[in-house]
A and B are shown apart, each in its own frame.
Chain A
Amino acid sequence: MATTFERVRDVVVAQLKVKADEVTPEANLVDDLRADSLDIVDLTIAIEEAFQGDAEFEIRDEDAENIHTIQDILDFLAQQGIN
């Protein structure tokens, strides 16, 4: 069974068209993974879809504002009970 990090990594690779080994917990979505504002909105939608079977949650705009790195995504998911 894939870990939460691996699942997030796969979504990020598919959405941002980056290499899997670029996706580390510390990786910054904008600076390291070359995402722009539209990419980040798109990515949050994809994360919601990928994890909707795990818990009932929504990434609101104010949540998205605090997401800068892959670790931020993992922390957000942990708050929803997804570890």
Chain B
Amino acid sequence: MTRALVTGLGTVTPIGLTVHDFWENLTSGVSGVTRITRFDSSELPVHIAAEVKGFDPSKYMDSKGARRMSRFAQLAVAAAQLAADDAQLVLTDNERSRAASAIATGSGGAIDTMEEMMVLKERGPNRVSPFYIPVMAPNMGACQVSIHLGLRGPALASVAACASGLYSFIEAKQLLDSGRADVVLAGGTEAALHPLPIAALANMKALSRNNDDPAGASRPFDLHRDGFVFGEGAVVLVIESESRAKARGARVYAELMGGGLSCDAYHITAPREDGTGAQEAMTEALAAAGLQPTDIDYIAAHGTGTPLNDAAETVAIKLAFGDHARKLAISSPKSMVGHLLGAAGAVGAAAAVLAIYNDLVPPTINLETPDPQCDLDYVPNKARKMTVRAAAANGFGFGGQNGSVVFRKYQP
């Protein structure tokens, strides 16, 4: 079985459009949450979001190509291009047949459905864009990355709500293990910033209404958390076989050890409060990685900042890690990045990989009042310099889909 190495990173997020800025801000406790600027939110109960600001598609792709993509695909292509550049990835024609993409999303081009529906209603069927179907289809994150980078192996696009991003890394590992691919551009993307989903999630009471303090709104594990902050962005990792990476002398961030998936089989939105579904994903991930709980030093938690998730995740971590749970450094990137939904798992993976590479754990910001139900070490408010031998990234989605992926410091 080949080993799977992380040799490149691309992050297009509310806290940075480069890996340098992303990591700098993530470890300095900078929030990417602001008042909504993309549209008029005055009629909504929620006026805050984590937007990707200053994104210019033409920096990453030709503008005609960009016009045929929904924003979720544009962000994915940009993140994939940045990851390929970061890895200094060069593919010969033969190698392209063994290069794949795995780009997950929660809702794909749902924005375009909303917009074209208005065109259909207000201006009639003759005005509907001929690009609508290939723009909105959720597989287009993966397919556009493959078109853009010339990857002729499989293009996979998992849809697993807020666990989506993590599925990609498990698929990437399987593609390498099975010998189907030598390199996979894997990650998640989401760009669904629109009044419709915000209204729906607000009515569900899932979103923070801390409109007067955007930077303080996402407060995972804090007693006064009141929901997550809707975000957008894309994160892509280059996952490469050890033999290929070695042959070209690639820089290695970390080794992708494996991951675990499970389903709560319980409720469409609420997690199992006994934590057993999420626990099973983490336990499976450890088993797939061939590691013991005590081998893990850091968990990039799902940590959404909803009252239910953070308590249930805490229970699940205790079940999966036993006594070692109290020795773990745990933090929620969402406290700064916001909740990138289908890309959230990939954000967690990037945080885990960079924590291993830099021996530095990003904090959970806005953690001011401890919640008795959340009594582990969430690295409050300040990054922590510490040895990170191995780390896990968690993601749990509506529908009860759970994912956990384990990375380890690369030992040649």
Enumerate chain A interface residues (CB-CB to B < 8 A): 16-17, 34, 38, 41-42, 45, 48-49, 58
Contacts and interface: CB of A to CB of B under 8 A. Distances in A.
A59 to B, nearest CB: 9
B131 A38 contact: yes
A17 B67 contact: yes
B130 A42 contact: yes
B126 interface: yes
B127 interface: yes
Interface in B66-106: 67-68
A34 B127 CA distance: 22
Interface residues of B, number: 10
Given A45-B126, A58-B126, A16 B131 contact: no
Contacts of B126: 45, 48, 58
Contact of B64 (A17, A45, A49): A17
A48 B131 CA distance: 17
B40 interface: no
B131 A45 contact: no
Nearest to B134: A38
Contacts of A58: 126
B62 interface: yes
B127 A42 contact: no
B129 interface: yes
The 9 closest A-B pairs by CB, nearest first: A41-B130, A17-B64, A17-B63, A38-B130, A42-B130, A45-B127, A38-B131, A42-B129, A42-B131
B343 to A, nearest CB: 27
A67 to B, nearest CB: 15
B127 A49 contact: yes
B348 to A, nearest CB: 36
